[in-house]
A and B are shown apart, each in its own frame.
Chain A
């Protein structure tokens, strides 16, 4: 009976805890009972294993579909049946005439690359060091494809539909570098977009490049421009996370302002304490 009670107690200790400490009575019991001690050791191993399981990231399709659904719901917010239960496929090639041109450009580039690589392959036997040429071509074409993708994302950020703008911001997830144009487009979305979800997505996109000085400065500069509490809180969290001390001043301003919501003030106060 005693062991059963201890056993239940041991499991309960792990509720929302990663390293629970044993109460004195349990500790004493474990000192005397080998089977309960073994159970505790196994439980500890198992919990550590469970906690070590990494989260899997869903595809970008999920976010795109969600914001499309939200847009639809906003267009007909009071309709009795609510949003349709359909998943919307990404429509990257359909919604603007220029997208078609860019798509055609990309297709040409890929075709060019394929033909080029075929020719290069045929030269392999006769020309010395052909791989260097192929590698250079590959690099150059990859660069061109990346810049076309980037151009497309920048253009799409000007779309009227918020979900399309979010989709455009999402495309930057695949980009390894942040060009000046893309940076400027994301900065504008972050500070000027009238939809908070686009601003939020832009913040997430820029966060990936928060190691760059120009991005950090832009994020610090963005804090006093944000009026939505969610944006203010997310930015404060980020500033604390990257230990950006320049954010102290705008955080202090938020704290002093009479119109700042209480939960933001609370966050700013704690943030200021952490950014000493």
Chain B
């Protein structure tokens, strides 16, 4: 309803949408990039795109799925531009940013740091899928609309991603981590 108002010219209605979603979006980007500044810029860019492309919003399309679709595209652009540095990050489980993020957000709890590190060891596609389904609380049919594949395929991929995460997480904890 609010997005429809934005589309019809009541731009102020974007305010409540921003208030509702910006922290979620920021955290989505933060867990993908491990960089606060980049995540704030990407969050801002999502709302810029929503404004710019408001005329293309379709009434029957769920707003949240539309918004995360833009968020994914923006992150994909960002990832392409900064691939080299991000690959370095992905391969390094002890990168400074990763540690800083874990220290800030996880209140120095090594167990939670292990979890974040395990997440970062997943391939980007699997990490993104788990962020959408677990952290952002999206239903499989919403994710299926965002990614343009069937709900059945999403189920299979989430299952594989969870299996991989479980493997990494419990393997790392057995190798000296503090996880349960």
Contacts and interface: CB of A to CB of B under 8 A. Distances in A.
A200 interface: yes
Interface string A63-83: 101110110011001000011
B39 interface: yes
B67 to A, nearest CB: 14
Contacts of A83: 48, 51-52
A43 interface: yes
A42 B165 CA distance: 11
B162 A11 contact: yes
Contacts of A200: 15-16, 19
Interface string B110-135: 01100110000000000000100111
A12 B139 CA distance: 11
Interface stretch (A44-52, A108-116, A146-154): A44-52
A200 B12 CA distance: 11
Interface of B: 2, 9, 11-12, 14-16, 18-19, 22-24, 26-27, 30, 36, 39-41, 43-45, 47-48, 51-52, 104-106, 111-112, 115-116, 130, 133-135, 137, 139-140, 155-156, 158-159, 162-163, 165-166, 169-170, 179-180
B23 to A, nearest CB: 6
A56 interface: yes
A197 B12 contact: yes
Contact of A58 (B16, B39, B170): B39
A55 B139 contact: no
Interface residues of A, number: 45
B22 A7 contact: no
A59 B19 CA distance: 14
A8 B162 contact: no
Contacts of B105: 53-54, 56
Given A43-B162, A62-B43, 11 more contacts: A11-B159, A12-B155, A14-B162, A15-B158, A42-B170, A46-B162, A56-B27, A57-B23, A63-B22, A73-B11, A200-B15
Contact of A56 (B52, B104, B137): B104
A14 B134 CA distance: 9
Contacts of B14: 70
A58 B36 contact: yes
A103 to B, nearest CB: 25
A230 B156 contact: no
B44 A74 contact: no
